[in-house]
Amino acid sequence: MRGLTVLSSALVALMAVVPHSRAQGVPWLSERSLPISLFERYVESLRQQAGIPGLSAAIVQNGQRVWEAGFGFQDVESLVRATADTPYPILDLSQTLASTVLLQQCLELRSLDLSDKVRRWHPQFSEDVTTVSQLLSHSGPDGFRYDASRYGQLNTVIDQCASQRYGPLMAREVLDRLAMTDSVPGHDLADTSASGRRLFSASALERYGSVLRRVAPPYKVDGSRRPSRADYSRPSLSASTGIVSTVRDLARFDTGLDVLIASSTRERAWQNGALPMGLGWFVQRYNGERVVWSFGMARDAYSALYIKVPDRGLTLILLANSDGLVAPYNLSDGNVTTSHFALTFLQLFVS
């Protein structure tokens, strides 16, 4: 890809001028900084090459949102531009939020142990010996196996161990607590026949409806990078999917992680041993730095990418209204550097 070839040359020049203090975690980013300017330029180039109609992005450093931007159009036909507060389905990224709720409400309150068999909490679960820890890490007796629908069985585990329904629990303990006002716990809640509506107040449903009316439409992109409106079945909330959010709200989630769960719990979630995943997060190394991340994709509709470099205090969040952030890269194998978007971020900020 030509953009990446040019990027490599630009990075050589960049490294000569970026202050070395960044390696010690000293704040050095701003919207006008050279790394941000270069990253913004290449994100737009990559977006165009992938044919993504609309893309929203944010970078968080040391608990502060230092940059956010929208690229292209959230609604191509009406020429509505993408912004940092454009809502999108976050798809499999919902797993990371679900993991946070489980760790907070079940592990930290000592009603559950990660070594518990899933069947202790979900008697109808199909696997005899799989533990809660294994389900959170997409693994089992036969090793790693990424399966979003299987992960979704954690709904019942959370319901039982927290003695509360997962939807209202997610809304109260994460979305409301962190003022994620443009986020919705269930993409189907605008549908008057959705069973989950009965779990929320009329005022909450009215607020959710106002967000869902602004969701970026999904697009399918052909081989000539031409977008066309796509069909997308709006899912109800589960531990594996269903949340609608914005990059600005997900930045609030990122900065609020130290409020939601203890630092020792986060460290436990971000340890993966021989597996590609920890507890609801992929975990790997890049240039000696730990990278924790998650992704989401609905084929020919939406995609999402969330990357943290904890020891640098850095996070990147990307949401798109086509599958171009994820579809080309086989991210379910556990290597985020196969993504040109991710690699550009890491080369600029973690090299």
The answer to the question of residue 22 being in a domain is no
User: Would you say 351 and 331 are in contact if contact means Cβ atoms under 8 Å apart?
Assistant: no
In angstroms, the CA 60 to CA 41 distance is 18
Mean pLDDT of 70-74: 98
Q: How many domains does the chain have?
A: 1
The answer to the question of residue 19 being in a domain is no
* Residue-range definition of the domain harbouring residue 217: 2-7+28-349
Structure tokens at 345: 């971020």
What CATH number has the domain bearing residue 169?
Answer: 3.40.710.10
Confidence of residue 145 (pLDDT cuts 50, 70, 90): very high
The answer to the question of residue 15 being in a domain is no
The answer to the question of residue 23 being in a domain is no
In angstroms, the CA 213 to CA 220 distance is 20
Q: Which helix (H) or strand (E) holds 285?
A: strand 282-286
pLDDT at 19: 43
The answer to the question of residue 227 being in a domain is yes
Distances (CA, A) of 298 to 11, 186, 241, 302, 323: 33, 15, 10, 5, 6
Q: Does 17 score more than 50 pLDDT?
A: no
The answer to the question of residue 192 being in a domain is yes
The answer to the question of residue 13 being in a domain is no
Confidence of residue 34 (pLDDT cuts 50, 70, 90): confident
| Each residue's pLDDT tens digit, 263-291 | 999 999 999 988 999 999 999 999 999 99
Of 155, 162, 146, 124, give the one whose Cα is nearest residue 134.
Answer: 146
Q: What is the SS3 assignment for 88?
A: strand
The answer to the question of residue 276 being in a domain is yes
User: Would you say 247 and 241 are in contact if contact means Cβ atoms under 8 Å apart?
Assistant: no
Q: Does 66 score more than 60 pLDDT?
A: yes
pTM here? 0.92
Average pLDDT in the chain: 92
Q: Does 212 score more than 60 pLDDT?
A: yes
* Strand ranges across the sheet with 54-61: 80-81, 64-75, 54-61, 314-320, 302-309, 289-298, 282-286
